[in-house]
Structure 1
Amino acid sequence: MTRRRRSVPVLQALGLIVAAVATSWTLTTILPVTVASASALSDVGFGWPFPWYHQDLTRFAYIDFPVEATVVGDRVSPVPTRVDWLPFTADVALTALVLWPVAAVLIRGVAALALRAAPATGSREATDRRGGTPA
């Protein structure tokens, strides 16, 4: 029983990290970046709040500046891309700090709703085999 209790926080932490990575990547692909000049197209940094995903967008002939650019995911003719792992880790950590209280409130709310919806019966499955008391 103690082994199961120890693994629960590990699973929660892993779930939080996965959710933070997914949220960081989603924000990176959704939020546009303002490019002020043609020279800035050689290294456009995406990611919020720290730019960690850099692309060289010089092949696109923008005429009017400033221009808003988004992540280019062209598989046929890929854009030169570089990933900075330290800012990415910082983005994931900040996202996890924001998601942690949100997830805690949601989990407690769902648990409270589940307890209200569960019938309060003394069924055989809900009793302890040793003493016959509800689990």
Structure 2
Amino acid sequence: MTLDAHAHHAGAPGSGWRSWLWMLLGFLPVALGFTLAARQFIPSSVRSPEELALVGFGWPLVWTVQDHTTATSPASYPTEIRYVGDGRGSAVEVPPTETDWGFFLIDSLLLWAMIAVVVISAVITLHRLRGDRSAETAPVITRAES
């Protein structure tokens, strides 16, 4: 392989650290989506009426807090409270909400790192399995044959 051909191959899409970087950056929108979905779909546990004033949402860190004292009156405790957002329609009044966008970014980065570790581990495992399989099918040359 000539020097020019090697340089062209090293910079080709799908090879080297640049493709890994683009793949990892591609996980960022997925992590942002998971962060928003976690707030929407993972309920918060409330153990007493006093806790209704500060119901936290978000995973793994709380980044949205709602005051459910006027919006919710559970019959018994502990209970689970779901996040109420603007998209619920006019029939449901949105409780007072505070959002910490710094914690949202931290949550997103944590989820991004988790997704990256899972995907990279899967790629490495598949690569090793493929390597083991090709080693099993490779012809074995013994001394008597050589």
Deviation of 1:43 after TM superposition, in Å, equals 1.5
Please state whether the residue corresponding to 1:34 is helix, strand or coil. strand
Q: Quote the residue 1:30 is aligned against.
A: 41
**Residue by residue, what CA displacement relative to the aligned partner does 1:79-112 show, whole Å, maximum 9, x if unpaired?**
22211122212211111111002223456759x9
Q: Quote the residue 1:81 is aligned against.
A: 97
Q: Quote the residue 2:62 is aligned against.
A: 51
Please state whether the residue corresponding to 1:90 is helix, strand or coil. helix
Q: 5+ unaligned residues in a row in structure 2: which ranges?
A: 1-7, 131-146
The reply to whether residue 18 of structure 1 matches residue 22 of structure 2 is: no
Q: Which aligned segments of 4 or more residues in structure 1 are displaced greater than 4 angstroms?
A: 1-10, 105-110
**Residue by residue, what CA displacement relative to the aligned partner does 1:22-54 show, whole Å, maximum 9, x if unpaired?**
112222222221112112111200112211111
User: What is the distance in 2 between the residues matched to 1:26 and 1:81?
Assistant: 17
Deviation of 1:60 after TM superposition, in Å, equals 1.4
Please state whether the residue corresponding to 1:54 is helix, strand or coil. strand
Q: Quote the residue 2:119 is aligned against.
A: 103
Q: Which residue identity is paired with 2:74? A: Y
Q: Is the 8 A contact 2:24 2:116 kept in 1?
A: no
**TM-score computed with the length of structure 2 as normaliser:** 0.61
**TM-score computed with the length of structure 1 as normaliser:** 0.66
Q: Quote the residue 2:135 is aligned against.
A: none
The reply to whether residue 72 of structure 1 matches residue 84 of structure 2 is: yes
Deviation of 1:19 after TM superposition, in Å, equals 0.9
User: What is the distance in 2 between the residues matched to 1:49 and 1:16?
Assistant: 17
Aligned length: 113
Supply the RMSD in Å over aligned alpha carbons. Answer: 2.7
% same residue: 26
